[in-house]
Amino acid sequence: VAWTFNSGESKTANDSGETTNELTPIKVGDNMYICTTHQILVALDPATGKEKWRFDPKLKSDPSFQHLTCRGVAYFDQADTTQFAKSLEGTQPVATSCPRKVFLPVNDGRLFAINADTGAPCADFAKNGELDLLHLQPYPYPGGLEPTSPPVVTGTTVIIGGSVTDNLSVHEPSGAIRGYDVNTGALKWIFDTGAEDPNAIPGDGKTLVNNSPNAWAPLAYDAKTDVVYVPTGNPTPDIWGGNRTPVMERYASSIVAMNGSTGKLVWSFQTTHHDLWDMDVPAQPTLADVKTGSGEAVPAVYVPTKAGNLFVLDRRDGKPIVPVHEMPVPAGEAAPGDRVSPTQPRSNLNLTSIQTLSDKEMWGATMFDQLVCRVIFKQLSYNGQYTPPSEQGTLVFPGNLGVFEWGGISVNADRQVALMNPMALPFVSKLIPRGPNNPLWPKEGATGSGTEMGIQPQYGVPYGVEINAFLSPLGLPCKEPAWGYVAGVDMKTHDVVWRKRIGTIRDSLKGIQLPPLKIGVPMLGGPISTAGNLMFIAGTQDNYLRAFNVTNGDLLWEARLPAGGQATPMTYESNGKQYIVIMAGGHGSFGTKMGDSLIAYALPSK
């Protein structure tokens, strides 16, 4: 360990059950920029971890927030004209008090621009450095729109999406993606995914379209072409869609490419049709070239999804590089008033571990556990992936946590290997019809539950829903292990060339120390790869940072973390040394130990 920085934060009574720190730091020059769980921005010395300054946005937190996290911040340098040449075409330099700024998203619906050198708010950005993201929202209640991922920046524009409260109501904020002037904070453009004209900016007294698909995961930006790649979710409520219009679903559960300077559509590709399972696009798209058999480098965008697909598309036009076909889905009736898409897109690169579960895959740590899991399995509605939600209770596999999550994947372009950490964890969703204890509309003063799990009201549609992981009485998954892997895919052949279990059950039951059996556990957080043929990843429930061989997946090194490492690591160089840094902050709903440590490891010198 080279250094450890402790933020001094801990969970408070005003915090959500989903309190976590999913931070990936950024390093620019002699500064490292991080955000804490409560979105305090801190500048550190990357060689020592010593704090230089901090800025506190005074987050207005509440237990009803569905999330409390900060995945990262964004940096802008007005002098960086070479990288952003495309977006700067036809523009003139603008005088600004903050030529170098850090953009800080805050969960209560604000975006701050902070002087990257001093930590002071940029006075000429929005209102003294503070931008209100609830502007033009139809239902601007606290916690309804939460920017949990960092924005992306072009030479002229800062672009941001946000998370909306899942499964609470039909009266939710819009999921519109917005572009603001990078220096003044003035609104430049809108892409409202649920509007007939997605670029129309509402006039006086008008608002954005409520419940339109949001973009909660990190975005990706190609500075050479000035195109931003946006992974979208679905219209909320998620688990009943009878009220959705074709316009509302046009850009749902999709990857949408748009011009970074104007917000105009370039192309879109839908990954799940009429999504009733929360199978959205949860991860930042990865931009890297794919080499063809003739040696041509094709600019690609890699799109991992919860459903297990890894779509590899030509980022110029959205056409598949790895073949995609429409797969017929299992027969099954949708809930009254809803419908089911007869087919779903399936990539030839699909990382789902088992296509269809059977009672043979039901598992338990004891014979009693296994018996209970098998009995429940037979009681559930299940005909394979995409079985529609039901009042009986439907087995959802892959589950709501997905095969892929917000950590995304890493592509080693030199070796043409895609590195990833797919999961295999079933969930159960059960529709709850309206009745005396399940009203169509909320009582006055009702708020969100502060979690995505358990009973969710879905006010305004005919059903509430109960969503939970499919667990045994002991609290372990009912599906036999493994529940988490690391894998390498050869991008020349599109084959999975290795797949290894990752993680032990050591910390899987809160408060109970289990033996360190390597069975492969769920994880939140993604991998990174280095030029030295290494893949680093944390994220597992057993609180380790690990290094694997990119070529064969062999475990080469591991280090115990003081708390859950539900974050993606980052590597950087400082004073001639290479470091790996990981946030060990824990995760409330994932059940890992909470903490406040940012830990840097120095790699051996050559």
Cβ neighbours of residue 568 under 8 Å, at least 6 residues apart?
22, 24, 407, 408, 525, 526, 527, 528, 538, 539
Does residue 566 contact residue 590 with C-beta atoms inside 8 Å?
A: yes
Peptide bond preceding 345 in cis form (omega within 30 of 0): no
Q: Which pair of tokens denotes residue 371?
A: 């018996």
Does residue 558 contact residue 569 with C-beta atoms inside 8 Å?
A: no
278 included as an active-site residue: yes
CA–CA dist 176, 206 (Å, integer): 14
Does residue 504 contact residue 516 with C-beta atoms inside 8 Å?
A: yes
* Closest-CA residue to 28 (of 103, 111, 102): 102
Q: How many CA atoms lie within 13 A of 32 on its CB side?
A: 25
For every residue of 113-174, DSSP letters joined together read EEETTT--B-TTTTBTTEEETTTT-SS--TTSEE--S--EE-SSEEEE-BEE-TTSBS----
* Closest-CA residue to 15 (of 56, 65, 53, 51): 65
What is the dihedral angle through the alpha carbons of 588, 589, 591, 594, rounded to the nearest 10 degrees? -10
Q: Which pair of tokens denotes residue 197?
A: 């004209």
CA–CA dist 270, 256 (Å, integer): 8
CA–CA dist 364, 354 (Å, integer): 18
Give the strand order in the sheet containing 310-314: 286-291, 297-304, 310-314
In residues, how long is the chain?
606
How far from 99 is each of 151, 183, 585, CA to CA, in Å?
18, 8, 32
* Closest-CA residue to 503 (of 397, 418, 422, 403): 422
3-state secondary structure (DSSP) of residue 527? coil
Does residue 152 contact residue 146 with C-beta atoms inside 8 Å?
A: no
Does residue 110 contact residue 143 with C-beta atoms inside 8 Å?
A: no
Place of tokens 């192309």: 267
CA–CA dist 19, 374 (Å, integer): 33
CA–CA dist 249, 114 (Å, integer): 36
Peptide bond preceding 398 in cis form (omega within 30 of 0): yes
The active-site residue out of 222, 238, 278, 338 is 278
Burial (CB < 10 A; 0-12, 13-18, 19+), residue 346, is buried
The strand pairing partners of 297, in sequence order, are 291
E-state strands within 72-204:
74-77, 100-106, 110-115, 130-132, 145-146, 152-153, 157-160, 163-164, 177-181, 187-191
Amino acid present at 575: N
CA–CA dist 218, 230 (Å, integer): 8
Peptide bond preceding 482 in cis form (omega within 30 of 0): yes
* Closest-CA residue to 293 (of 325, 313, 321, 323): 321
State the DSSP code for 335: P
Place of tokens 């920085």: 5
Active centre residues (catalytic): 278
